[in-house]
């Protein structure tokens, strides 16, 4: 059920869309729903100035806001007008951008946590801790190509990396919704088979414990032999800024950033991005590597990093 809590102001004064507004719209369009706190953390360094921009975009029909009840935060989503604007700016549709669908109250907490994980990965990328090429949904073509459906698995996110080291990071949230511990154990056993089925060992599993109290994920993993290429996080740790480097794997291997492209933190340079987008549109079809770099800069720096959402 969706109910609007904040109404747009009729006959609002014209708005000049700023670069940061574009990033807000892009994030909302790809994530489906974002909270006020997520926008402030990702794009305003925690400042409450983000609330003013959200309200302006709402008043001019670029965003809508909904809430289930007082237990949940306001959920901001992109409107059709926002998608049209983004298509004009980017010279075509942004992969995965969409207007929001219906979200059930019992799914809000999980969705917000999933977006938190996406933003944490993007923050690591912007800090030079990893080289993110794209962030896919658990049902995306990339997830299907890896083979998740064969093991009846749907990760909460799938980060695709460049450079040496793991090529994919599967994000799996534990919200404590499994009725029995055996259900969680069975899921982790399926992940263990999947990880060992890839001879190139290019897939890592990032387990994120979102429960109020730790539930012993590490112990379960070790008991079934799931330690190689597995890292366990607590959600509050991922939500801290500045973001820290990924924790070691359960078998003790530290995270190493080996890509030259990720060695330096990402600096804000929106003017250069606009020029690059204009040149790319004028040039027409470009080589696959150049196109990949263009998408990488445009999506991740805008707070996206993704195509299809789960």
Local structure of residue 309 (DSSP, 8 states): -
Q: Is residue 77 helix, strand or coil?
A: strand
Instruction: For residues 99 and 114, state if they share a domain.
Output: no
| pTM greater than 0.85 (yes/no) | no
Instruction: For residues 158 and 209, state if they share a domain.
Output: yes
Count of domains forming the chain: 3
Q: How far apart are CA 81 and CA 62, in angstroms?
A: 6
Q: How far apart are CA 229 and CA 245, in angstroms?
A: 15
Among the candidates 49, 72, 104, a domain finishes at: 104
Residue 166 lies in a domain: yes
Q: What average pLDDT values come out for the chain (310 residues) when binned by 10 residues?
A: 54 79 96 95 89 93 87 93 94 90 89 97 94 94 96 97 86 84 91 90 93 82 92 94 94 75 45 42 37 38 46
Strands 34-35 and 63-66 come out as: unpaired
Give residue 90's pLDDT.
Answer: 92
Q: How far apart are CA 161 and CA 50, in angstroms?
A: 29
231 phi, psi to nearest 5 deg:
-125, 135
Instruction: For residues 180 and 155, state if they share a domain.
Output: yes
> Do 209 and 244 form a contact (C-beta atoms < 8 A)?
no
Q: What long-range pairs does 275-280 form, CB within 8 A, spacing at least 24?
A: 277/89, 277/90, 277/91, 280/91
Among the candidates 104, 130, 152, a domain finishes at: 104
Give residue 211's pLDDT.
Answer: 87
Q: What long-range pairs does 280-288 form, CB within 8 A, spacing at least 24?
A: 280/91, 281/91
Among the candidates 104, 136, 158, a domain finishes at: 104
Query: What is the domain extent for residue 73?
Result: 19-104
Torsion (CA) 183, 188, 189, 195 in degrees, nearest 10: 160
Instruction: Provide the total of helices (H) and of strands (E) in the chain, helices listed first.
Output: 11, 8
Give residue 166's pLDDT.
Answer: 82
Give residue 294's pLDDT.
Answer: 37
> Do 310 and 138 form a contact (C-beta atoms < 8 A)?
yes
């Amino acid at each position: 059920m969706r109910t609007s809590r904040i109404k747009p102001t009729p006959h609002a004064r014209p708005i000049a869309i700023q670069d940061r507004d574009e990033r807000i719209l892009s994030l909302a369009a790809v994530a489906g729903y974002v909270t006020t706190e997520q926008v402030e953390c990702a794009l305003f360094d925690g400042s409450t100035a983000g609330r003013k921009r959200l309200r302006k975009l709402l008043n001019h029909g670029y965003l809508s806001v909904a809430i289930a009840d007082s237990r949940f935060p306001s959920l901001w989503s992109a409107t059709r007008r926002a998608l049209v604007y983004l298509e004009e700016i980017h010279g075509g549709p942004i992969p995965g951008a969409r207007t929001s669908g219906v979200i059930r109250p019992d799914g809000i907490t999980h969705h917000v946590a999933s977006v938190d994980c996406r933003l944490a990965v993007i923050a690591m990328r912007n800090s030079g801790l990893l080289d993110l090429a794209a962030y896919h949904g658990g049902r995306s073509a990339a997830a299907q190509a890896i083979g998740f459906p064969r093991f009846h698995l749907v990760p909460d996110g799938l980060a695709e990396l460049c450079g040496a080291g793991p090529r994919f990071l599967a994000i799996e949230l534990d919200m404590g919704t499994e009725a029995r511990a055996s259900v969680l154990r069975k899921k982790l056993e399926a992940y263990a088979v999947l990880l060992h089925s890839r001879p190139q060992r290019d897939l890592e599993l990032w387990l994120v414990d979102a429960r109020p109290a730790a539930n012993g994920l590490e112990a379960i993993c070790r008991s079934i032999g799931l330690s190689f290429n597995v890292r366990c996080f607590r959600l509050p740790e991922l939500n801290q800024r500045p973001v820290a480097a990924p924790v070691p794997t359960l078998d003790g291997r530290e995270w190493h950033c080996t890509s030259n492209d990720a060695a330096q933190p990402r600096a804000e340079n929106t003017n250069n991005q606009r020029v690059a987008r204009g040149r790319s549109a004028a040039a027409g079809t470009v080589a696959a590597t150049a196109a990949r770099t263009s998408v990488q800069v445009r999506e991740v720096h805008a707070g996206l990093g993704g195509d299809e959402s789960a």
